[in-house]
Chains A and B, each alone.
Chain A
Amino acid sequence: DAKTTQPPSMDCAEGRAANLPCNHSTISGNEYVYWYRQIHSQGPQYIIHGLKNNETNEMASLIITEDRKSSTLILPHATLRDTAVYYCIVRFLNNNAGNMLTFGGGTRLMVKP
């Protein structure tokens, strides 16, 4: 799987948009970009994923650059409960194996009042 690079930590003011960058310059055509977060020691929580188009759901928006070498996760109105470690993961998918996720170090987002 392609590796990702994320800043180790970021701060965001409560109520403002949190923009979390991820670099995946070696991504290949059949690799998806997934975002998860982990609040304290809970299980990783799925947020969103995409291939090449921008995606939006009730939690966040995912913006993928045209060359697919980087992406940004946007939390439109961050709350204190969004304080967590955010993981950007590139996932190779085929019909065969279990297609597991490989977690890196992530970005520790601190939302401040």
Chain B
Amino acid sequence: EPEVTQTPSHQVTQMGQEVILRCVPISNHLYFYWYRQILGQKVEFLVSFYNNEISEKSEIFDDQFSVERPDGSNFTLKIRSTKLEDSAMYFCASSDWRTVYNSPLHFGNGTRLTVT
């Protein structure tokens, strides 16, 4: 069964550094998402992306964050200057909207970001 893959599984970085989290969505999917989950807290929406532009974003997704689909397969989340509070699990998801528009989101297993 096709799946969303995320790399790396764990990233450690120093405060103020830039990080890029990478995702390979399911190949025929058209909508892409990033979520995060701070340890012990809820899964929070960050951003959705379609047709090479942001569709929706949450208040969390400020100017420090950006997303990109640099080629036909990867979807990335960049944090320009990491803060301690950015430490969390980051989940990528994708959904297929070619058939019916109630397609579920399929999530990867996440990247654990630790900011020291």
Binding site for B on A (CB under 8 A): 32, 34, 38, 41-46, 49, 51, 87, 91, 93-95, 97-105
Q: Closest approach, in angstroms, between the C-beta of B22 and any C-beta of chain A?
A: 15
**A101 adjacent to B45 (CB under 8 Å):** yes
Docked pose: A29 CA to B106 CA in angstroms: 24
Tally B residues with Cβ within 8 Å of A: 27
B99 beta carbon closer than 8 Å to chain A: no
**B91 adjacent to A44 (CB under 8 Å):** yes
Docked pose: A94 CA to B106 CA in angstroms: 19
Docked pose: A18 CA to B4 CA in angstroms: 28
Docked pose: A27 CA to B42 CA in angstroms: 21
- Residue B91 contacts which of A32, A43, A105 (CB distance < 8 angstroms)? A43
Binding site for A on B (CB under 8 A): 4, 31, 33, 35, 37, 42-45, 48-50, 55-56, 89, 91, 93, 101-102, 104-110, 112
**A42 adjacent to B101 (CB under 8 Å):** no
- Residue B106 contacts which of A42, A46, A95 (CB distance < 8 angstroms)? A46
**Residues of chain A within 8 A of B93, CB atoms compared:** 43-44
**Residues of chain A within 8 A of B106, CB atoms compared:** 46
Docked pose: A44 CA to B44 CA in angstroms: 12
- Residue A97 contacts which of B43, B56, B89 (CB distance < 8 angstroms)? B56
**B109 adjacent to A98 (CB under 8 Å):** no
Among A41, A44, A45, A103, residue most surrounded by chain B Cβ atoms (within 10 Å): A44
**Residues of chain A within 8 A of B42, CB atoms compared:** 103-105
